[in-house]
Amino acid sequence: MVLAARSGLHSQEEFRESLAATAAMLDHRAGRTWRSLEDTARSVQILRLAGPTYQNWRRGLDYYPEGILIWLEVDTKLQQLTHGQKSIDDFCHAFHGGQSGPAMVVPYEFNDVVKTLNDLVPYDWASLLKERATSHAAHAPLGGVSGAGWKLVYSDKPNVFIQAGEKQRKSLNAFYSLGFSLNESGMLEDVLQGSPADVAGIGPGMKMIAVNGRKWSKDILRQALRESKTGNAPMELLLENKEFFKTYPINYHGGEQYPHLERTDGDDLLTKISTPRSATK
């Protein structure tokens, strides 16, 4: 993600939108309360081919995207502790670098990572990394986002990365409003635990038939979401569940909701991290 921004493959806005989409997805993972990040790596053979259904509750290969948040936190902490003199770049040089010559296999363990960080600047890195790997906290670790001078917010403005994903997968992401995603045929791929849809009794595997009495389409559902902000009546979704049809009223009035990053006080370390590096001889 960082290299894509530094190389110019992603604009600064795209970089932030991608990070916001990742942070929001992980911040709404209900399965965090019972499965640690460490366990998503241990369970990779089970999780890799499990598909999207109930992914929110069982979690997926979250050690990949959550690693972004963890190392962003490490980076911002390094910069804060050294007053901008050290960063994740210095860690990468120290940890992944070495003498020139033939390729070598250099095994490492947790304490080697901690030692390299402490060589850059003393801090209780071991506790920080262990907490991030083993925590059952309900929310994602967003300390790196806030430490970089930004915060996660939601608005009805589409997130460009989510929008691109919808186009590629021919899907609709309503996770942060009604609480579900569905494909182009109307099949609900997953439902967030505790979301308005979940509270109404809706689950993954059901198929959307109609929205407020009209045949469902992406445009019709989005229109209903926009109208929910000014209406008092619940939104009514007609869903097919195997051989059964049922109308589910959802008392939601928040409109469309998409994640973004918004600037806060303090140094803008995020832009510093994603800015192209100068060429060196």
CA distances from 267 to 46, 76, 79, 91, 272 (A): 42, 10, 10, 21, 9
- pLDDT tens, position by position, 99-137: 888 988 889 999 999 999 999 999 999 999 999 999 999
Kindly report, as residue ranges, where domains of CATH 2.30.42.10 are found in the chain. Answer: 172-256
Taking the model in full, what pTM does it have? 0.93
- pLDDT tens, position by position, 195-231: 999 999 999 999 999 999 999 999 999 999 999 999 8
The CATH superfamily of 172-256 is PDZ domain (2.30.42.10)
DSSP-derived pairing of the beta strands 171-174 and 214-215: unpaired
Question: In the chain, which residues have pLDDT < 70?
Answer: 279-281
Sign of the alpha-carbon torsion through 167, 171, 175, 177: positive
87 with 162: CB under 8 angstroms?
no
210 with 175: CB under 8 angstroms?
no
Q: Which helix (H) or strand (E) holds 258?
A: strand 258-263
